[in-house]
Amino acid sequence: MKTIALTIGLMLTFIHSQLLFAQTRKPASAGREEYIEVEKNVKLHVIDLGEGQPVVLIHGWPLNNAMYEYQYQYLVEKGFRVIGISLRGFGKSDRPYGKYDFDTFSDDIKVVLEKLKIEHATLGGFSMGSAVTLHYVTKYNGAHIDKLALFGSSGPSWKKRDGYAYGASDQDAAALIQQTKTNRQQLVAGFGKGFAGKEGGLSEESIKWLESINLDASPYATTQAITALRDLDLRPELAKIKMPVAIFHGVNDKLCDFAQAEQLNKGIEGSYLVKFEKSGHALFLEEMDKFNSELEKFARK
């Protein structure tokens, strides 16, 4: 009986100590959710760091929010709250069967910004993400956003059209889309190598890192998103944009020609163009210091 009583006593002591620890321990997290539900059974992965004026970053195709690794901590240290959203189908976000078009991406971003209670943000988008952010701003009249930054933009049209002689040809666009369905791994390998403006502009490690991010996407979403980009023409929408707009573009960009940035600059009244003379598509890596400082400067204006 004494042994049983001693055992019970020790158990009660242990339970009491655990309850005291639970009551006195302060949570280490800031209480922010890493996954945000945008509709039933669909959650997006969100990186949410820092305090202060918000900067929201949208990735390119078929990347995810990991691409901004070297922007997050820089901006946090400069006193910003920085939020990176992985679009549905990409990175750690859910990848349901359904639509992967620019209305869907814009709707999802709207829900995230509402749930996080974000206001007066600077919204930045890279490559396909620039088209996403342009569409978001025009669809929702700039809700939650005060400024727009476009990096290595694929807009206002990713491919050539009547009256627009820039971007991919119909044949090249069709071949790329077909390759997403038949040899995605080879496509991503070539895509990663094409990020650098010049031979040796990116280290082998950086190229492998970009390839690994690109491969971490739903194959279905990869095809559907680039097909939606093929069909998107934002030229009629540009005149609706009245907020400050900064356009960052590498002059040696092989994937989205510098002329596309010039067309955006002409089409968006009051926008300004920042040339990255030593960069290709990977301006956020090739000229990281300039990219970060220019983004900081724009967000503070």
- Which residues are tagged catalytic? 127, 253, 281
Read out DSSP for the chain?
-HHHHHHHHHHHHHHHHHHHHHHHPPPSS-S--SEEEEETTEEEEEEEEESSEEEEEE--TT--GGGGHHHHHHHHHTTEEEEEEPPTTBTTS---SS--SHHHHHHHHHHHHHHTT--SEEEEEETHHHHHHHHHHHHTTTTTEEEEEEES---SBSB-BTTB--SB-HHHHHHHHHHHHH-HHHHHHHHHHTTSSSTTSS-HHHHHHHHHHHHSB-HHHHHHHHHHHHT-B-GGGGGG--S-EEEEEETT-SSS-HHHHHHHHHHSTT-EEEEETT-SS-HHHHTHHHHHHHHHHHHH-
Q: Measured between alpha carbons, how far is 217 from 210 in angstroms, rounded to an integer?
A: 12
- Cβ 288 vs Cβ 261: under 8 Å: no
Q: Measured between alpha carbons, how far is 210 from 79 in angstroms, rounded to an integer?
A: 27
Q: How many CA within 13 A on the CB side of residue 171? A: 0
Of the candidates 273, 280, 279, 268, which has an alpha carbon nearest to the alpha carbon of residue 294?
273
Cis peptide before 219 (omega within 30 of 0): no
Paired strand residues for 245: 148
